[in-house]
């Protein structure tokens, strides 16, 4: 039997529905009457980093070529009868998919016929169709994609940084793999990975908008094939705390030199969301446009308005990245390291921190009123082992002391990597 529960935010009163479906699938539903759109994501906790795995019945781990999760995403859009894009085009819906480091999602957005679009989504993701011919064809297509991203300066500056940061973790490998790794992929490997990771017990459906939960669940009852939980286990190679090297530079034909300044932090699976949001507030504080460091670098022409920061974290990896355009990225690195040292010694200004925290909290509350954003929040939070409204509660309770503790103990100078794409 399916199990249903109502999840409610204790702070805003907003709610959504979580159903553990009898098929094994987790379903998250947010009814938003009066909205014109519907947005749905059907995803699996399977990304580019999940290259070593086994099921409970297996004696040994299986390791597959890099890029296979992304390859599999491409191939599911092709079935025996016609392309999936054609089916969605007939209903007027927009569809797409993406593979990240730790998940793969298939999605649609529509303003009408959401029930038909949901049927299409659930149907094609559950019907793999791989042959030698279509796999060989896709190798050529993805090979071109890899060559294109290798020429993309934003992509290069990121992965150059990750290769300097991580010794063994597969996050350092391009999501699409390499031309050499995808050449090893065949139909049998695709079916093996599909059967392993596209088990409904490893998947989530998130849908929000002008919908009715009973209609969604009736379609799921009709379309989902029951799956046995086979005890999937994924592992990663041991990753030391230190970095590989502190700096990497490359020249490309770009309008302005760009940089990624990354700091390798310790992953925390048990408290992932709290650490992620603490890091986000700390990074916002560090890069705040009202800070002395920001304004000094800006007035000296060392940075411009592109300067900013983000948290980059997932299964077995956690880092913060500051990025932007600069013809003197060494000066940015020196200023950031000096600012981290100053904050660690002098503390955090409570007034500035509270302003940043309130702005972050406001952004999160606004997401509750967005069909697209909240559907994304539901699937991302569930795959991270959290509930959709946890993030609002966590941010509301974070303090300046939490951010200071993160800056002092995680943003260490000897774990900082500078990656630069210099203008030729």
Catalytic annotation, pick one of 31, 60, 73, 215: 73
How far apart, in Å, are the Cα atoms of 5 and each of 18, 27, 50? 5, 11, 30
Q: Quote the pLDDT of residue 80.
A: 63
Q: Quote the pLDDT of residue 207.
A: 98
Phi, psi (rounded to 5 degrees) for 15 = -145, 160
Domain 3-234 of CATH type 3.40.50.720: no
Q: Quote the pLDDT of residue 97.
A: 96
Mean pLDDT of 298-316: 95
The domains of the chain are located at 3-234, 247-423
Return d(Cα 186, Cα 194) in angstroms, integer: 12
Mean pLDDT of 168-188: 95
Task: Extract the tokens encoding 155.
Answer: 């992509």
**Cα dihedral sign for 344, 345, 349, 350?**
positive
Q: Is the pLDDT of residue 82 over 90?
A: no
Of residues 200 and 78, more confidently modeled: 200
pLDDT band at 270 (very low <50, low <70, confident <90, very high): confident
| pTM, entire model | 0.94
Q: Quote the pLDDT of residue 78.
A: 78
Q: Quote the pLDDT of residue 1.
A: 80
Is residue 5 annotated as a catalytic residue, yes or no?
no
If DSSP states are collapsed to H, E and C, what string results for the chain?
A: CCEEEEEECCCCCCEEEEEECCCCCEEEEEECCCCCCEEEEEEECCCCCCCEEECCCCCCCEECCCCHHHHHHHHHCECCCCEHHHHHHHHCCEEEEEECCCCEEEEEEECCCHHHHHHHHHHHHCCCCCCHHHHHHHHHHHHHHHHHHHCCHHHHHHHHHHHHHCCCCHHHCCCCCCHHHHCCCCHHHHHHHHHHHCCHHHEEEEEEECCCHHHHHHHHHHHCCCCCCCCCEECCCCCCCCCCCCEEEEEECCCCCEEEEEEECCCCCCCHHHHHHHHHHHHHHHCCCCCHHHHHHHHCCCCCCCCEEEEEEECCEEEEEEEEECCCHHHHHHHHHHHHHHHHHHCCCHHHHHHHHHHHHHHHHHHCCCHHHHHHHHHHHHHCCCCCCHHHHHHHHCCHHHHHHHHHHHCCHHHEEEEEEEEC
Q: Quote the pLDDT of residue 401.
A: 97
pLDDT band at 79 (very low <50, low <70, confident <90, very high): confident
Mean pLDDT of 49-75: 95
Same fold yes or no, 3-234 and 247-423: yes
Q: Strand order of the sheet with strand 308-314?
A: 247-252, 416-423, 258-264, 317-325, 308-314
Task: Determine the topology of domain 247-423 in CATH.
Answer: Cytochrome Bc1 Complex; Chain A, domain 1 (3.30.830)
Average pLDDT, the chain: 95
Mean pLDDT of 121-139: 92
Q: Is the pLDDT of residue 162 over 80?
A: yes
Q: Is the pLDDT of residue 223 over 90?
A: yes
pLDDT band at 81 (very low <50, low <70, confident <90, very high): low
């Amino acid at each position: 039997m399916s199990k249903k529960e109502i999840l409610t935010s204790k702070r805003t009163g907003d709610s959504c529905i979580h159903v553990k479906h009898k098929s094994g699938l987790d379903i998250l539903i947010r009814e938003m009457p009066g909205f014109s759109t519907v947005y749905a994501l059907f995803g699996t906790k399977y990304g580019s980093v999940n290259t070593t795995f086994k099921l409970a019945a297996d004696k040994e781990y299986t390791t597959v070529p890099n890029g296979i999760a992304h390859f599999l995403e491409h191939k599911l859009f092709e079935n025996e009868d016609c392309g999936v894009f054609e089916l969605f085009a007939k209903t007027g819906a927009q569809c797409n998919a993406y593979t990240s480091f730790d998940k793969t999602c298939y999605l649609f957005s529509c303003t009408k016929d959401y029930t038909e679009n949901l049927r299409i989504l659930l149907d094609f993701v559950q019907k793999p169709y791989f042959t030698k011919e279509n796999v060989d064809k896709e190798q050529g297509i993805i090979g071109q994609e890899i060559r294109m991203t290798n020429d993309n300066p934003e992509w290069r500056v990121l992965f150059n940084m990750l290769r300097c940061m991580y010794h063994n973790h597969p996050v350092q490998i391009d999501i699409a793999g390499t031309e050499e790794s995808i050449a090893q992929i065949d139909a049998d490997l695709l079916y093996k990975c599909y059967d392993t990771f596209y088990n409904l017990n490893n998947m989530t459906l998130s849908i929000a908008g002008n919908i009715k939960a009973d209609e969604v669940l009736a379609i799921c009852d009709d379309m989902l094939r029951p799956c046995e939980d086979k005890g999937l286990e994924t592992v990663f190679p041991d990753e030391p705390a230190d970095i590989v090297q502190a700096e990497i530079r490359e020249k490309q034909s770009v309008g302005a030199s760009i940089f990624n300044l990354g700091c390798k932090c310790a992953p925390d699976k048990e408290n992932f969301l709290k650490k992620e949001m603490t890091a986000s507030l700390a990074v916002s504080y560090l890069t705040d446009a009202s800070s002395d460091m920001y304004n000094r670098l800006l007035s000296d022409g060392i940075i411009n308005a592109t300067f900013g920061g983000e948290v980059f974290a997932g299964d077995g990896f956690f880092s913060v990245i500051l990025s932007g355009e600069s013809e003197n990225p060494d000066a940015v690195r020196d200023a950031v390291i000096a600012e981290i040292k100053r904050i660690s010694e002098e503390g955090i200004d409570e007034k500035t921190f509270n302003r940043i925290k309130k702005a972050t909290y406001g952004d999160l509350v606004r997401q509750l009123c967005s069909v697209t954003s909240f559907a994304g929040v539901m699937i991302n939070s569930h795959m991270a082992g959290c509930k959709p409204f946890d993030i609002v509660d966590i941010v509301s309770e974070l303090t300046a002391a939490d951010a200071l503790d993160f800056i002092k103990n995680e943003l260490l100078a000897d774990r900082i990597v500078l990656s630069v794409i210099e203008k030729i």
